[in-house]
Structure 1
Amino acid sequence: MSAAAALLPAGLVAPTYGTDSLAAVLPGAAGALGVDLTTATGLTSRDCAAALGLPAVERVVVVLCDGLGHLNLAERAGHAPFLRGLLPGTRTLTTTFPSTTAAAVSTFGTGTAPGCSGMLGYTQRNPATGGLANMVSWTEQPDPYRPVPGAGALPVPAHELQREPTVFERLTAAGVAVTSVGPARFAGSGMTLAALRGGAYVAAESLEDRVDGVVRALRPGGPALVYLYWGDVDKTGHHHGWQSWQWGDELEAFDREVARLVRSVPPGTLVLVTADHGQVEVDRAARLDVAATPALAEGVALVGGEPRALHLYVDGPDGVDGTHGADGTQRAAGADGRAAAVAERWRDVLGDGAVVALREEATAAGWFGPVTDHVLPWVGDVLVAPRERLTVVDSRTQTPASLELAGVHGSFTPHEMTVPLVAAVAGKG
């Protein structure tokens, strides 16, 4: 049993960050293209390609469908005839903790882990300012409990927080033509620069236009990798739940375009389809609000993360006694004791409904993979991962719309943690 699994009750899935994980996909694609690289966590492109069963090719397309968990796909496969036909050969990979886009896509893009990339969830505290940083929009709310309209830009450049070279950068340096195809608003965004910098960016809004953009990018000769992102499966799940008819319709549309993509790219092109995480549907009767639960609010200076993976911070950026430096090298006097007390109160309230761990326990167990010194202060003093369909929100910092989401993710359940890796070679089979 791994250290990460040792902290988790039976039935939950621990992240691994090895060749059986989402971190291996882009290094594996590099290996398929004949490019040798080794990531900061020790993954090599050759080992990843071999472990994932990827053939040697000159062109690779990698499609990341946000929110398309392996179990979500398998249980709704009637809406995906093309992908269903490939399910018998599909590999199941584990994603990150938390099982959410910022952490997973940065791990995917660098071939490392959240503890290296510094992208630890939907929101996290900036230790230098105390603001609640949103790692998807790359914005920061300076005073989280007195929200003001319009958060300001996160005052941390993408390359300063996420310091690992991306696989795209390494491929470009090796002479591989790299192209990302996605919405115009993602071009040059903080998250794109952090997790997926390198190569060219082609803006395309509809899925059909993105598939056409991939095909155009592959026409020139020479080795090439093209990346396509699609977010509407996840978005639909958030609003309607992954078991809804709306989610089924969105999966059908995605499946149809993936099939067209495989038919349209040059013969011999390797097409990989994966996801950043899956989803579960909320149980509104089991939802808890920190703002309305004194035992949960006591001793907590700030709640980060998301309803299925919370970072609880017991001190402000300088500590209650002013001894905690912004670099995190010195914690405020008594911080460990306060964190332990918060963890105990949360365990008392949540019982078997969540896994509650101190920062030291979670990092020692490898939940975030290796954690670098500059990333450690961003990690919550206490980490909380709800089980089953429980969610924990904080109405002081979350928008009314976010409080009403039907589908969520972030925790350790199989539906959230397992993602597919579908592989097809154009012109074969």
Structure 2
Amino acid sequence: MLKDPVLPDYSGECLTNIVPAIFSRLFGPSPNYRLWQDQPIPALSELHSKNVVLLVLDGLGWNQLKANRERFSTFSSFKSSPITSVAPTTTSSALTSITTGLAPLQHGIVGYRMHMGGGDVMNVLRWSVAGKDVRSTYPPTLIQNIASFGGMKHAMVTRTEFGGTGFTQAHLYGARLTGWRVASSIAVEVSNLVKSGEKFVYVYYDGIDKVAHEYGFGSHYLAELRAVDRIVGDILEVLPPDTALVVTADHGQVQVDQDPIVPNEQILSNVKFQSGEGRWRWFHVKPGSEQEVISGLNELYGEIAWVRSKRQIIDEMWLGSAPTHEVAGRLGDVALIAMEPVAFFDPSDTGELKLICRHGSLSEDEIYVPLMVFEK
């Protein structure tokens, strides 16, 4: 029996609703939040603290957390539960959903590699097309023009080298950035900001995701989990009274031990180019070829992947609702979404053969992420 994809719970316990729920407790209603749905998250509706630090651990899925609980002694004092990420379960879409409080079809960052028109496929994290920086061609704050954190210019802490990137400009539009160069500085920067009177601080750490991509779920991964436990413990130590630490992640991971599958040549003869990533490939098909591509993909890969048309995905609101014509144009025509621990190859997606753990699809391991709350 084939598995069903796990769809994001945009109307409930989802990444999109974390910041709106926190801000509702900290600041009350505001016209700045007019785009947000009133969808409370039970774990956050009980917050009593006057200040909140939100820590996002890139790549820590709920299932991976459960399987490695003993590595996280600090989290034993947290209230924890699973929530859903967004679709696709990729960093660019999920982080933008956290900071804007909106689903991907609303904020417009619809994947890791998305079509910008004219055959240009942009790597969103690098903000590049064919290896070239395109910030002047596709200005980040025009491609994603929703201000982060309701336009309130809150403080955020991230790697110093991320500060000037196109993706940072897009998903943290309007935020005030504080950089860190080594992980031991994260707690120091958080302490300084909270002591200076910041009521809300957003913190991003990418180590788990990087290690899992390069090494898989082995000894390096376990060592990184222990390092993250120390980072969280350091933050807890410096938090003043009446301050909550909320921890979540952008997506989970699956380990893919085999090389990416090269799609069938006959199918590719009807495809102009691809976008997306290994576990969520978009095929941009030649005119009149959509049904032939769908049938071919289902016949060859229907037992290891979900095949859906763009119209199905939009109508069923996998990425949210009501896209503009421009945002809908960033999607492909047919999606091939991995169900099993496999990935699909696109020669224009550089570096694809080097990844061990991957994400992007809608398996339980990828879409469920933790929501953990500690009030001091």
User: What TM-score, normalized to structure 1?
Assistant: 0.83
Cα shift at 1:9? 5.2
Match of 2:184 among 183, 208, 213: 208
Aligned to 1:17: 10
C-alpha offsets along residues 158-179 of structure 1, whole Å, 9 cap, x if unaligned? 122213232252x34xxxxx21
Aligned to 1:357: 308
Aligned to 1:195: 171
CA distance in 1, matches of 2:12, 2:100: 14
CA distance in 2, matches of 1:254, 1:283: 25
Cα shift at 1:119? 0.9
- Paired residue type of 1:159: T
Cα shift at 1:188? 3.2
Matched, 1:138 2:139: no
Aligned to 1:246: 220
- Summarize the alignment of residues 71-90 of structure 1 with structure 2, pairs less than 5 Å apart: 71-86=63-78, 89-90=79-80
Matched, 1:393 2:319: no
C-alpha offsets along residues 240-287 of structure 1, whole Å, 9 cap, x if unaligned? 11x2111111011011110121121111111110000000000306x3
Cα shift at 1:208? 1.3
Cα shift at 1:34? 2.2
Aligned to 2:29: 36
Structure 1: gaps of 5 or more residues: 1-7, 142-149, 173-177, 316-334
Structure 2: gaps of 5 or more residues: none
Cα shift at 1:85? 4.3
The answer to whether the 8 A contact 2:215-2:356 is kept is yes
CA distance in 2, matches of 1:52, 1:59: 13
Cα shift at 1:40? 6.4
CA gap 1:30/1:262 in 2 versus in 1, 3 angstroms: same
C-alpha offsets along residues 127-163 of structure 1, whole Å, 9 cap, x if unaligned? 1x3111011111112xxxxxxxx42324211122213
The answer to whether the 8 A contact 1:40-1:164 is kept is no
CA distance in 2, matches of 1:402, 1:380: 19
The answer to whether the 8 A contact 2:77-2:374 is kept is no
* 3-state SS of paired residue (2:325): coil
Match of 1:343 among 280, 285, 294: 294
CA gap 1:65/1:168 in 2 versus in 1, 3 angstroms: farther
CA gap 1:344/1:275 in 2 versus in 1, 3 angstroms: same
C-alpha offsets along residues 342-381 of structure 1, whole Å, 9 cap, x if unaligned? 1111111102110011110111011110122220111111
Aligned to 2:82: 92
Aligned to 2:146: 164
* 3-state SS of paired residue (2:282): strand
CA distance in 2, matches of 1:392, 1:43: 35
The answer to whether the 8 A contact 1:34-1:56 is kept is no
Q: Which moved more, 1:254-263 or 1:76-85?
A: 76-85
- Paired residue type of 2:161: R
CA distance in 1, matches of 2:7, 2:213: 23
- Paired residue type of 1:393: F
Match of 1:109 among 99, 114, 119: 99
C-alpha offsets along residues 295-322 of structure 1, whole Å, 9 cap, x if unaligned? 331211111110001111115xxxxxxx
Q: Which moved more, 1:12-21 or 1:51-60?
A: 51-60
Matched, 1:309 2:280: yes
- Summarize the alignment of residues 218-237 of structure 1 with structure 2, pairs less than 5 Å apart: 218-221=194-197, 224-237=199-212
The answer to whether the 8 A contact 1:65-1:275 is kept is yes
CA gap 1:40/1:137 in 2 versus in 1, 3 angstroms: farther
Quick one: percent identity of the two aligned structures? 26
CA distance in 2, matches of 1:288, 1:363: 26
User: What TM-score, normalized to structure 2?
Assistant: 0.94
- Paired residue type of 1:193: Q
Match of 1:379 among 317, 331, 335: 331
CA distance in 2, matches of 1:358, 1:135: 23
- Summarize the alignment of residues 287-302 of structure 1 with structure 2, pairs less than 5 Å apart: 287-290=260-263, 293-302=264-273
CA distance in 2, matches of 1:250, 1:376: 38
Q: CA RMSD in A?
A: 1.9
The answer to whether the 8 A contact 2:89-2:361 is kept is yes
Aligned to 1:55: 47
CA distance in 1, matches of 2:34, 2:103: 9
Cα shift at 1:116? 1.1
Q: How many residues align?
A: 373
CA distance in 2, matches of 1:14, 1:105: 17
The answer to whether the 8 A contact 2:306-2:338 is kept is yes
Cα shift at 1:39? 5.1
CA distance in 1, matches of 2:313, 2:48: 38
The answer to whether the 8 A contact 1:355-1:385 is kept is yes
The answer to whether the 8 A contact 2:141-2:173 is kept is no
Cα shift at 1:389? 0.4
Cα shift at 1:33? 0.8
Q: Which moved more, 1:365-374 or 1:266-275?
A: 365-374
